[in-house]
Chains A and B, each alone.
Chain A
Amino acid sequence: MSVLFNASLIMVHVGEKSGEKEKILQKLVAAFPDTLPPYSVLWKAGHPVEVLLDACVSENADLIILGAIQREELLKYYVGSVARKLTRKCPCDVLLLIKPSVERIPCSHAVVNGLAHKKTEVAITRAFYVLNALGANRLTIVEEIPEDDVAVKVDDDRSLRKSTIVKERITLREKTRVGRILANIPPQMKANVQHNIQPIFGRRGYSIGHFARVKRADLLVMNAPQAHSVWDRIFPHDLEYILSDLPTDVLIVR
């Protein structure tokens, strides 16, 4: 991965340094004979979340890559796994990989959120950057519009017609907004990536995950969430849906 971004790699191992573990690591590294980027190994004992967070800050990392389980157990859901905690607290971008494979599967289709949020512009730009680096060529910008925005409750034919008109108006508005963001992205970045916009009326944060699954996207790029509390997990919203049931690899942009 770091080869593609021309970055240096820091492997962080949480735990005591020992000969046996080092041997395993050496073996792993040896599997990449020629393409190996500059790398270093950090050995540190302690709680995984804290160690990794410290490492991010001290090494001034841009991206942290984590393996994650696709579906969380109920207990984990409320207590929180390492991956999840990091996702929330990490100061840099986080890439969650759900299905690491020995052979690299070419990534071809990414989905990015297009919410009306100040971070969205960063997320979309970052998505274009990542796609270019990975050599992927399709990007779908999904705008999730909560049903509550359509202030018409559908009861009969007349209210249905009204709500359809309101929806069309919102769709148009959203498309112009995303269009403005797209206009700010350098053309050379857009040249190799085919992008389209898909508005979805549905629960925010959930719909995009389901969409990524249906479209069999390889990467999902999301805004980082705001502050979290236990309430967010009891009444899940936004990113929580995706984190509890990862549809694909997820990149969280900070």
Chain B
Amino acid sequence: MAKASVFTGLRSNIFAGFVVSLIALPLALGLAVASGFPMVAGIITAVVGGVLVSILGGSYVTITGPGYGLVVVLLSAVSVLGDGDIHAGYLYALSAVILSGGVLLLFGFLRFGALSDFFPATAIQGMLSAIGVTLLVKQFYVMFGDMKTKGTVLDLLVGIPDLLKSLPHVSDGQLYAVGIGVVSLLIMFSYSKITNRVFRLIPAPMWVILLALGFDAYFSIIGGENPISKTLLISLPDNMLTSMPTPNFSKWQEPAFWGIVLSITLVSSIESLLSIKAVDKLDPEKRRSNINKDMKALGVATIVSGFLGGMNVGTVISRSSVNVNNHATNRSSNFFHAFFLLLFVIVFQDQLSRIPFTSLAAILVYTGYKLTAPAIFVRMYRIGKEQLFIFLTTLIATLLTDLITGILTGLFATFVIHVVLNKAFWLFSRNLIKPNVLMYKENETNSYYVSVIHFCTFLNFYKLKAKLDKIPQTEKVVVDFSLCAFVDHTVQESLHNYEELFIRKGGMVEIIGLDIHETDSSHPFAVRTLRPVQTLRVFGRGKTRRQQQLEALAQEKGWSYEENPNTQKRLLRDYLGHETTSVERMYNQLSNSNKNLSLFDITFSEGVFIAKESVQTTLLRVRLNAPVPVFSFDREMLLEKLSHLAGFHDIDFPDYPAFSDDFYVRGNDPEGVRAFFTPALISFFSAYGFYHILCNGKELLVRQFLRPASAAEASAMIEFGLALKKKIDG
């Protein structure tokens, strides 16, 4: 493949970089202040990140800069390490940033790109929401002009009414600033609802800046002084190059220092990894990012940024998605975003110092709100009560303690819930370290088949992921969970992401074998447990993805669909060689209007004494109008063992030697069967040789695999059934 030149589509990348820099400027300033770093640190982070990652990185349309998650950890780092002295704390924190860059670089070399997969999706969501709450509450105070607040997030939350009550007593200078802050917040919230094209040309954060500058300009035109008190206006150093700080590494022996390094690294890498994954889904050219290479680049950028006085460089989702929306095609847009940012700061240094803190705080309050919006709580509840529990546990634990403890609590809570749901600890303890994934290319269908046994949760998803990553995304994949006792939400959500990735590139991921698992929720990604079911019962309310697809298939064909099981113990009894087969249940039944064609899944076991695992498969039943001879048709000799017991033998077709050699047709009435297999039928069956067909004289049963068929395979079976019925009944 010829390497795409950096210069292709240069114009669109310059433009995208420009638009992103408009958003990045206020965010960089705001995030730096919120982290307890000097204002310019945010700019340094974004510029260093943009330049270095665009050269070294492995992703395509991501934008790098200071991340939201870091605000919380860095702020506590500055206050803890500095013991109240903000400047000393800043210098200590810089050394922590540099070291965390080193750790990140190491992660990249150790290929830890899958790090974020080791945490349950819900716990990560809980952690992000906790960051959101912290950001929201702290910046809410700043928005009201209170710059010196201290205390835990919960204390601050309780104190909000007092803050509002004290508002009428503040000075005019502060009141103006608060006014600008509140208006800015309104702009942020209403921006997505305004559809005016002219208004939408400029992104919301830039409107906030323009509002502040316009306010200032108004007063300078009427000849007065800006009424906002000087302490509430941002201040940039006069000469950024000479005011370079020296990081202070003297605390390297303290365990608390390393705890901070670890949490900075963890938050920064999780945020970046999630963003890279999310941006890959947006990339119009459907490229796959080299995550480990990107991690190395972020590590290098963080080290450099730390030495220059900046924060951790991370990949940021909102700026990246703006980048994609403005038709960026490669990493050069990240470079131009850095370039424009630097340009703005140098050219408009004077103007920037007229922006009040309150308007930056308004932007961050809105960001915090987005991370912890009520909609997230509702979504968690929909997936399942236990997910809401995990989410809230992580959220509260993170707020009460720190990020590391919080996410570990969430992880532990998830595991405990899984054990409780399964009522079995051994399922996890016994099978954790064993390999549990098999992947191979099926010879018959040329698609990839992935089978998972034991259990599949966040604990061992990386094994499944490693296999899935090795499949070209243009291929068809079937993931079979029928031997898997427990599948959690994290796995299903990640698999859903794979589904999307494969569909975008022309491939397909289909998940089978989850339909008989139990669940209490109606969400398609809810946790699913396989329990030995003694009595027949109606499944939980939730449908799996496959059931939804089957239902859609039924609608498309105008068929009826019934997912709940019913007993038809004797369903297979009058078929050749299945005299002893007892069907445990029959479910996911699709049938046409006059009930002579139906497709369904069954679970059956052969015999009673034989402790053979029960088998799940999908069958198609064709009811015929006129009686036909009893026969079985098969390419492989799968049914041989059964039929030779019953005294049936292979029927030869002397006129069709090739057909006779390739297929095994058996029956107790050779003449009748020979007469039944007309030349047209023989050529039809040869073309569909991968189906196994059983006939009891009145009905035909068609089967493809000894596993449930995926929705696409089911659709093909239905087509085959329709054609078959037409051929036989005429």
State the 4 A-B residue pairs at the shortest beta-carbon distance, nearest first.
A210-B438, A106-B641, A156-B290, A155-B290
**Residues of chain A in range 170-213 having any CB-CB distance to chain B below 8 Å:** 194, 196, 198-203, 206-207, 210-211, 213
Q: A103-B609, A163-B470 given as contacts; is B438 within 8 A of A211 (CB)?
A: yes
Task: Indicate if the CB atoms of A194 and B438 lie closer than 8 Å.
Answer: no
Task: Indicate if the CB atoms of B439 and A137 lie closer than 8 Å.
Answer: no
* Chain A residues, Cβ within 8 Å of B453: 210, 213
**Nearest chain A CB to B278 CB, angstrom units:** 17
* Between-chain CB contacts (< 8 Å), 19 pairs: A99-B610, A101-B610, A103-B610, A105-B612, A108-B637, A138-B636, A154-B470, A155-B58, A156-B290, A160-B472, A164-B472, A198-B443, A200-B440, A202-B439, A206-B435, A207-B440, A210-B437, A210-B438, A216-B706
Report if B615 contacts A (CB, 8 A).
yes
Residue in chain B with minimal CB distance to A197: B443
**Nearest chain B CB to A90 CB, angstrom units:** 25
For A, the interface residue count at a CB cutoff of 8 angstroms equals 42
Q: Which residues on A are within 8 Å of B, measured CB to CB? A: 74, 99, 101-103, 105-106, 108, 136-138, 147, 153-161, 163-164, 194, 196, 198-203, 206-207, 210-211, 213-216, 236, 241, 245
1/0 per residue B421-440: CB within 8 Å of A? Answer: 00000000010001111111
Task: Indicate if the CB atoms of A214 and B610 lie closer than 8 Å.
Answer: no
**Residues of chain B in range 439-465 having any CB-CB distance to chain A below 8 Å:** 439-441, 443, 451, 453
Residue in chain B with minimal CB distance to A77: B430
Task: Indicate if the CB atoms of B438 and A202 lie closer than 8 Å.
Answer: yes
Report if B402 contacts A (CB, 8 A).
no
Task: Indicate if the CB atoms of B443 and A156 lie closer than 8 Å.
Answer: no
Task: Indicate if the CB atoms of A199 and B440 lie closer than 8 Å.
Answer: yes
Partner of B451, one of A153, A155, A156, A214: A214
Task: Indicate if the CB atoms of A207 and B638 lie closer than 8 Å.
Answer: no
Task: Indicate if the CB atoms of A198 and B440 lie closer than 8 Å.
Answer: yes
Task: Indicate if the CB atoms of A200 and B438 lie closer than 8 Å.
Answer: yes
Residue in chain B with minimal CB distance to A137: B637
Report if B291 contacts A (CB, 8 A).
yes
Task: Indicate if the CB atoms of A99 and B611 lie closer than 8 Å.
Answer: yes
- Per the bound structure, the CA–CA distance linking A163 and B471 in Å amounts to 10
Report if B645 contacts A (CB, 8 A).
yes
**Nearest chain A CB to B315 CB, angstrom units:** 16
Report if B658 contacts A (CB, 8 A).
no
* Chain B residues, Cβ within 8 Å of A241: 434-435
**Nearest chain A CB to B295 CB, angstrom units:** 11
1/0 per residue B603-644: CB within 8 Å of A? Answer: 000010111110100000000000000000000111011000
**Nearest chain A CB to B457 CB, angstrom units:** 18
Task: Indicate if the CB atoms of A105 and B610 lie closer than 8 Å.
Answer: yes
* Chain B residues, Cβ within 8 Å of A202: 435, 437-440, 467
- Per the bound structure, the CA–CA distance linking A214 and B291 in Å amounts to 33
* Chain B residues, Cβ within 8 Å of A203: 435
Task: Indicate if the CB atoms of A196 and B443 lie closer than 8 Å.
Answer: yes
* Chain B residues, Cβ within 8 Å of A207: 438, 440
Task: Indicate if the CB atoms of A101 and B706 lie closer than 8 Å.
Answer: no
Task: Indicate if the CB atoms of B451 and A210 lie closer than 8 Å.
Answer: yes
Task: Indicate if the CB atoms of B470 and A155 lie closer than 8 Å.
Answer: no
Residue in chain A with minimal CB distance to B438: A210
* A contact face: mostly helix, strand, loop, or mixed: mixed
Task: Indicate if the CB atoms of A158 and B1 lie closer than 8 Å.
Answer: yes
- Per the bound structure, the CA–CA distance linking A198 and B441 in Å amounts to 8
**Nearest chain A CB to B570 CB, angstrom units:** 21
Task: Indicate if the CB atoms of B293 and A214 lie closer than 8 Å.
Answer: no
**Nearest chain B CB to A193 CB, angstrom units:** 9
**Residues of chain B in range 180-212 having any CB-CB distance to chain A below 8 Å:** none
**Nearest chain A CB to B502 CB, angstrom units:** 13
Report if B251 contacts A (CB, 8 A).
no
Partner of B440, one of A136, A201, A236: A201
Task: Indicate if the CB atoms of B440 and A101 lie closer than 8 Å.
Answer: no
Partner of B637, one of A138, A147, A158, A161: A138
Task: Indicate if the CB atoms of B58 and A156 lie closer than 8 Å.
Answer: yes
Q: A214-B483, A245-B434 given as contacts; is B469 within 8 A of A154 (CB)?
A: yes
Report if B111 contacts A (CB, 8 A).
yes
- Per the bound structure, the CA–CA distance linking A158 and B4 in Å amounts to 13
Report if B557 contacts A (CB, 8 A).
no
**Nearest chain B CB to A140 CB, angstrom units:** 10
- Per the bound structure, the CA–CA distance linking A164 and B441 in Å amounts to 12
Task: Indicate if the CB atoms of B451 and A160 lie closer than 8 Å.
Answer: no
- Per the bound structure, the CA–CA distance linking A155 and B289 in Å amounts to 8
- Per the bound structure, the CA–CA distance linking A241 and B434 in Å amounts to 8
Partner of B640, one of A137, A147, A216: A137
- Per the bound structure, the CA–CA distance linking A237 and B430 in Å amounts to 16
Partner of A155, one of B293, B645, B706: B293
- Per the bound structure, the CA–CA distance linking A110 and B138 in Å amounts to 67
Partner of B636, one of A102, A163, A194: A194
* Chain A residues, Cβ within 8 Å of B291: 155
* Chain B residues, Cβ within 8 Å of A156: 58, 287-290, 293
Report if B292 contacts A (CB, 8 A).
yes
Task: Indicate if the CB atoms of B640 and A108 lie closer than 8 Å.
Answer: yes
Task: Indicate if the CB atoms of A200 and B609 lie closer than 8 Å.
Answer: no
* Chain B residues, Cβ within 8 Å of A138: 636-638
Task: Indicate if the CB atoms of B58 and A99 lie closer than 8 Å.
Answer: no
Residue in chain B with minimal CB distance to A168: B441
- Per the bound structure, the CA–CA distance linking A103 and B610 in Å amounts to 9
Task: Indicate if the CB atoms of A99 and B612 lie closer than 8 Å.
Answer: yes
Q: A101-B610, A108-B638, A155-B293 given as contacts; is B439 within 8 A of A201 (CB)?
A: yes
Residue in chain A with minimal CB distance to B635: A194
1/0 per residue B212-238: CB within 8 Å of A? Answer: 000000000000000000000000000
Residue in chain A with minimal CB distance to B431: A245
- Per the bound structure, the CA–CA distance linking A147 and B440 in Å amounts to 12
Q: A106-B645, A164-B472, A211-B438 given as contacts; is B637 within 8 A of A153 (CB)?
A: no
* Besides A160-B470, A213-B453, A241-B434, 6 other A-B contacts (C-beta < 8 A): A101-B611, A105-B610, A163-B470, A164-B472, A202-B435, A214-B707
**Nearest chain A CB to B725 CB, angstrom units:** 30
- Per the bound structure, the CA–CA distance linking A116 and B181 in Å amounts to 72
* Chain A residues, Cβ within 8 Å of B293: 155-156
- Per the bound structure, the CA–CA distance linking A114 and B440 in Å amounts to 15
Residue in chain A with minimal CB distance to B707: A214
* Chain A residues, Cβ within 8 Å of B707: 214
- Per the bound structure, the CA–CA distance linking A214 and B290 in Å amounts to 33
